[in-house]
Structure 1
Amino acid sequence: MDDPTKWIDVLLARVVLQDESDQQNLYLKERSGKRGFAILIGTSEAAEIQRVLAEVEVQRPLTHQLLFEAVTALGARLTEVRIVALERSTFFARLVLSPTPGELVEVDARPSDAIALALRARCPIRVAEEVMRDASTTG
């Protein structure tokens, strides 16, 4: 069955780190438009995203790198990340994996983890139109 959801391609616009806070801000912006929104994420996820963006390698794999390498070692690939819902100020995401050519499997994930993995896999990040409409600010 086809997915009737309209998906909006987004970019990671910025990560804002706040000292002495356990919540950080990640901003997503649509590729072809002005809408965007912030997601509150944890400090460890923000640090991982910053490491990927700065191409910093660690001596031993941390959780996101370990998961990415495990998926790859099993012959699958992360094809895209989807921000699928916004309920009571909480975002929900899914990893879209391809274990074999032509096959897609979706796995629930926190948006922060999903985005960290998307950056590592260099795959698209997409947001459901309904989520973009409900969460977005213009500018």
Structure 2
Amino acid sequence: MTYILVIVLSAIAGWLTRDFLTRRAPNQIISTDQQSTDSKFQLDPKTSERKENHTRGINPRKQDETEKIPLSIAELIEVEQEKKFNVHLSCGDGQRLCMVMGYFEAQAIAIEMNALKAARPMTFDLLQTLLLAGNFSVKEIVVDAIINQLFYATVVLQTKDGELELDTRPSDAFVIALKNKAPMYIYRSVLKAYQDLELNKS
């Protein structure tokens, strides 16, 4: 049963990823240079290896627990000209960072932040139903890497057989965390890498 649900969850994650690629990838670091923004979305040669590891519930990006900083969503700001949203995040140590997300992802986050309900079940509602059906609980989500100027995250599920770690986009991880009132974190090294990239742009 658990194995089948993991396959279904992976299929939904794959659907979200394909949808994400056709719309222009969210979760990027903010840039006003359109050409450099486009160049950020090249496939990493190690992507398939990372996916294979995560399919087995192994997170190759995992770091020491002491490196985690609590993370929360401060606000969503629409960028009307680009039909995107700047998602401002607050870190537990007082620092902030910003990600760019598409309309669908920002809408899903806003729905959860404001405790709203859609007229019909949305994709994340279906995902939540599957999690509950499999007796999976969401332990936490962690923003655990910046690769080619894209953020990566992991959702940590608690199952009867132990923990299961799934590779995902931060935007999807945020919605899952909000739905399940699960804690959100970012690794200190990822925050530092983000700050270095922002510094190089100024």
Residues 51-100 of structure 1 show CA distances to partners (whole Å, capped at 9, x for unaligned) of 11111111221011211121111100111111010122100001100112
| 1:19 aligned onto 2:98 | no
Across the aligned residues of Structure 1 and Structure 2, the Cα RMSD in angstroms comes to: 1.8
**Aligned equivalent of 2:193:** 134
Question: What is the aligned length?
Answer: 134
What is the aligned counterpart of 1:86 among 133, 146, 156?
146
**Aligned equivalent of 2:110:** 50
**Aligned equivalent of 2:95:** 35
1:105-120 counterparts in 2 under 5 A? 105-120=164-179
Q: Report the TM-score when normalising by structure 1.
A: 0.88
| 1:9 aligned onto 2:70 | yes
**Aligned equivalent of 1:122:** 181
Distance verdict in 2 for CA 1:133–1:3, change over 3 Å = closer
Question: AA paired with 1:24?
Answer: F
Instruction: Quote the offset at 1:40 in angstroms.
Output: 1.0
Question: AA paired with 1:54?
Answer: N
Distance between the aligned counterparts of 1:127 and 1:72, measured in 2? Answer: 25
**Aligned equivalent of 2:137:** 77
Distance between the aligned counterparts of 1:3 and 1:100, measured in 2? Answer: 24
Distance between the aligned counterparts of 1:88 and 1:42, measured in 2? Answer: 18
The gaps in structure 1 that reach 5 residues or longer are none
Return structure 1 stretches of 4+ with deviation > 4 angstroms: none
Q: Which has the higher strand share?
A: 1
Question: AA paired with 1:109?
Answer: T
SS of residue in 2 equivalent to 1:24: strand
